[in-house]
Amino acid sequence: MLPIGWKKKVKNMLNKITTLLGTLLASAFLIGLATTLTRSSMIGFWDVLPVFILMAVAIVMMIYEAFFDKN
């Protein structure tokens, strides 16, 4: 016999897994965009540094909104 309230626990667990998977995929995409800029021989590290900073800020904000901001 299944315990009472198991549907809510399963739904909560699936929500957490989906949020984690979405955050990981979006972070991988943003990191991939930032690293492709460094492959060019005409673009130096100092040219790409603002992009790395903006990507890091975007990833931190995305993680904060997904996991810590409950309002």
Give residue 1's pLDDT: 63
Q: Quote the DSSP letter at residue 44.
A: -
Over residues 41-50, the pLDDT tens digits come to 788 878 888 8
CA 29, CA 10: separation in Å to the nearest integer? 28
Phi and psi at 56, nearest 5°, equal -65, -40
Instruction: Tell me the mean pLDDT in the region 9-17.
Output: 87
pLDDT band for position 71 (50/70/90)?
low
Tell me which residue has tokens 């315990």. Answer: 3
pLDDT at 4 over 80: no
User: In this structure, what DSSP letter does residue 22 have?
Assistant: H
Look at the block and give the residue holding tokens 């005409």. 42
Average pLDDT of the residues of the chain: 84
For the chain, what are the domain ranges? 27-71
Amino acid found at 22? G
Whole-structure pTM value: 0.71
